[in-house]
Structure 1
């Protein structure tokens, strides 16, 4: 009999866990599959770990957990869960029930046909979210799909079920800076997407601020596109050519009319400040990529486990 592993990253989800587990278990128990749950406590500051310990005590054969030594982020939690999972099929779900458990039977059925290696989900709307966040998200997907060779499905969720073959491929990518939506697309494999309308959290509040989402989006662009570096090259090239043309103009003017007074110091200062600002911008972009290389070559672990059961 095949086995299904359910990976659930958790950060301050004490309120949602009591609703999540019964809802998922009710659906999963109807499937003709062995089942294991891997809850990843990502350094929660509430009673999430205590809730997970209680769930494990109630069902030690099925429910397992990893508890990080601190908060390493959702990407690290998903990676840890995929490493721990032993199932033939592995599904990633959020604990807030924004990922409908009712999709699980259909996901399993699609994978068992052998036609698909992954069944993902995507939202067709963002009802309940702030309009500006929905607008920023839409803009991000349009931008990254224009500048990257790896195409990412707009509004795709981390909620997806994968075969063991695809999970192993994802785990083979051991990069420190992880952008899973890009990784899932980069590894390839045949993927079917199920669409649904946005579902609001059943309890608690999201831990993702607008600033965190912005940083996550920039990390995704840096991980899967070289366009920012190319922009730095273009800016440097234009500035250099403009400077050369300016020097030629000054020399020619001096030859034609040596007595011409030198004027325009204010504009010269503005140009110097502009070019200096562009140089700092380019250095910052390059530094961002160098920083990623620095973190990778240090070979630090993506996460540290404090407790496991």
Structure 2
């Protein structure tokens, strides 16, 4: 019997975890597959670990990976994928916005021979206007800047990956991990299953607009050097403008004579060029900072402890 691993990163999900487990097991128990549920605690500050330990005690299929601190969702997801032992893996959020009832549809596509099955949201009506607009802008911008890596629009981490696709994904150990981009980068034969995304079952989202902005920068700088190219193009354009403007001043002076110096023009030009230079120093700094973190080659995460139900020689739980 083939086994499917369900990977659930968690940060302060104590309130929703029992309901998530109930709905998840109601779905997977009806499928003719073995299942493994990998729960990853990403430094939660509530009772997430205690609630997860109850599930470990109740169900031998549950593995709890307790990270040493909060490393962020992308790293927590990577830790869960590292621990997954199934023939396929399904990452999903604990808040039930990734509905477990969609898992049979993902598995069906896998049975048809697809190695990556994406779960695509039909609409984002549950999101604010600002969030929908910013997401649309990001997807369009990413497609233009990232070259051959194209992220499917309105597809999050919720998907199914075959073991071959998963092993390819895990071979990339970069520290600045933009998982949506990495999922798309590995390729393989892909299919899409559409669904209506429900509202969050409990708790509050961990993302705010500032985190989403940084997340977008992470994605663009991880998969594109276009911002660096822009600095080159802008530098050439500025030099060309300065050269042409110099010719204009020379011809005007020869033909008309010296006029009153344009002090405001000089101030505006110096301020503009100074701002452009500082902006692109920031861009260079973003890339250099990422290079700095990569060359240190530190481990992506540390595991404080793993919890899994075991049995002794008499078959009793320990």
Q: TM-score, normalised by structure 2?
A: 0.92
For structure 1, which runs of at least 5 residues remain unmatched after alignment?
A: none
Q: Distance in 2 between matches of 1:192 and 1:96?
A: 24
Q: Distance in 1 between matches of 2:249 and 2:105?
A: 72
- For residues 273-295 of structure 1, give each alpha carbon's deviation from its aligned partner in whole angstroms, at most 9, with x where no partner exists: 00111111111112111111111
Partner of 2:292: 294
For structure 2, which runs of at least 5 residues remain unmatched after alignment?
A: 308-318
Whether 1:98 aligns to 2:97 is yes
Partner of 1:140: 138
- For residues 241-277 of structure 1, give each alpha carbon's deviation from its aligned partner in whole angstroms, at most 9, with x where no partner exists: 22223333444445556x6144111111111000111
| Aligned equivalent of 1:119, options 117, 120, 130 | 117
Partner of 2:49: 49
Give the superposition deviation at 1:113: 2.4
Aligned partners of 2:124 and 2:132 also within 8 Å: yes
Give the superposition deviation at 1:108: 1.6
Q: Distance in 2 between matches of 1:79 and 1:22?
A: 24
Give the superposition deviation at 1:43: 0.9
Aligned partners of 2:99 and 2:197 also within 8 Å: no
Aligned partners of 1:151 and 1:185 also within 8 Å: yes
Give the superposition deviation at 1:6: 0.6
Whether 1:271 aligns to 2:242 is no
Whether 1:76 aligns to 2:75 is yes
Aligned partners of 1:236 and 1:279 also within 8 Å: no
Q: Distance in 2 between matches of 1:161 and 1:153?
A: 14
Partner of 2:150: 151
Q: Distance in 2 between matches of 1:110 and 1:121?
A: 11
Partner of 1:203: 202
Partner of 1:33: 33
- For residues 183-220 of structure 1, give each alpha carbon's deviation from its aligned partner in whole angstroms, at most 9, with x where no partner exists: 11111011111111221011111111111111101111
Q: Distance in 2 between matches of 1:141 and 1:127?
A: 17
Moved more, 80-89 or 26-35: 26-35
Q: Distance in 1 between matches of 2:261 and 2:133?
A: 47
Q: Distance in 2 between matches of 1:263 and 1:106?
A: 73
Q: Provide the secondary structure at the position in 1 that maps to 2:191.
A: strand
Q: Provide the secondary structure at the position in 1 that maps to 2:15.
A: helix
Q: Provide the secondary structure at the position in 2 that maps to 1:200.
A: coil
Partner of 1:193: 192
Whether 1:128 aligns to 2:126 is yes
Give the superposition deviation at 1:106: 2.0
Q: Distance in 2 between matches of 1:25 and 1:70?
A: 28
Partner of 2:234: 235
Q: Distance in 2 between matches of 1:303 and 1:208?
A: 21
Aligned partners of 2:67 and 2:302 also within 8 Å: yes
Give the superposition deviation at 1:69: 1.7
RMSD of aligned Cα (Å):
1.4
Partner of 1:217: 216
Whether 1:20 aligns to 2:20 is yes
Give the superposition deviation at 1:33: 1.4
Partner of 2:313: none
Q: Distance in 1 between matches of 2:230 and 2:163?
A: 39
Partner of 1:281: 279
